Amino acid sequence: MNLLRMYKRFVIIYIKSKLEYHGALLLELFANTILIGVYFAGFLILFHNFKGIGGWTEYEVLFMFTTSWTSYSVSCFFFWSPMKDIGEMIRNGSFDMYMTRPIGPMTYLVLQQFQYTFLPRIVLSIIFWTISMQKVTIVWNLRNIIFYVVSMLCSFVIFSSITIITGSISFWTIKSEEIVSLLTDNNYGLKNFTDYPIQIYSKEIQLLLTFVVPYAFTAYYPVAILLGKNIGNNILGYLSPAIALLFACLACLMWKKGLKHYGSSGA
């Protein structure tokens, strides 16, 4: 409860600072809404010309697409900006401030920012997710509901863990913005490959998305199980909790090792 009250105060302070330039805030929200709207429009145009892809129908892909995007957007809401900016904070010495606060550096990094620019992503993802869910053939019994909810939570953990791991590299390399963008940016990063069924890619890409950077477990494998798709080995569809736990542990380890390795710039 104390963290929630603290986060509320940080949000109020953050929004008040942004409202000093309310025109820019509204323009930024509008621009992000248009950007994400164009992305979804491109998706719909694609399926206007191709009724299916890799054995998946338009609404099946949209369901998988929005499942991934929703958990990804919520993850970015908390972790994208802190991990993207941490390299700059280490370079200029401002990260020292986070090391001297009475709460953990990660907690403070997350609480002090409010990434409202991801709100359009979350809202539009939920809208299209609702539309697609009504069009796909899934029996929503208790077992499938629990399986899907757990898969969504695991997806959030996997996205967040990979973002934290890439951001933690800054403690050794000082600059990791490009690595964070390469692996986690939805516009041109590796995350972009998960918007469609991975069987349309080469075997090398499939192996990369399954065993190296396991984005396939954030939506593709769980949704394929729900839809009754043939994914070769159905056990992969049930491994999301194990993958989430593994990468959460790796992220925690990387972050703690990074904090121990951190040396002030002397600023």
pLDDT at 52: 80
Q: What pLDDT digit, counting tens, does each position of 88-121 carry?
A: 888 888 888 888 888 889 998 988 888 888 888 8
pLDDT at 4: 78
pLDDT confidence bin for 26, thresholds 50/70/90: confident
How far is 180 from 83, CA to CA, in rounded Å? 7
Q: What pLDDT digit, counting tens, does each position of 123-147 carry?
A: 888 999 999 998 998 989 999 999 9
pLDDT at 147: 96
DSSP 80-131: HHHHHHHHHHHHHTTTHHHHTSSS-HHHHHHHT---GGGHHHHHHHHHHHHH
| Mean pLDDT in residue range 181-196 | 78
pLDDT at 33: 83
Does pLDDT of 202 surpass 70? yes
pLDDT at 170: 87
| Mean pLDDT in residue range 251-265 | 87
| Mean pLDDT in residue range 197-215 | 91
Does pLDDT of 266 surpass 60? no
Output the CA–CA distances (angstroms, integers) from residue 209 to 134, 140, 256, 266, in the order listed: 28, 28, 26, 40
Ranking 23-32, 62-71, 188-197 by mean pLDDT, the lowest is: 23-32
Task: Provide the mean pLDDT of the chain.
Answer: 86
- Rg, Å, the chain Cα set: 20
Length of the chain equals 267
Q: What pLDDT digit, counting tens, does each position of 63-96 carry?
A: 999 999 999 999 988 998 888 888 888 888 888 8
The gap from C-alpha 170 to its chain's centroid, in whole angstroms, comes to 19
pLDDT at 243: 97
pLDDT at 224: 94
The packing angle between helices 2-19 and 22-49, to 10°, is 100
| Mean pLDDT in residue range 7-25 | 75
Does pLDDT of 267 surpass 50? no
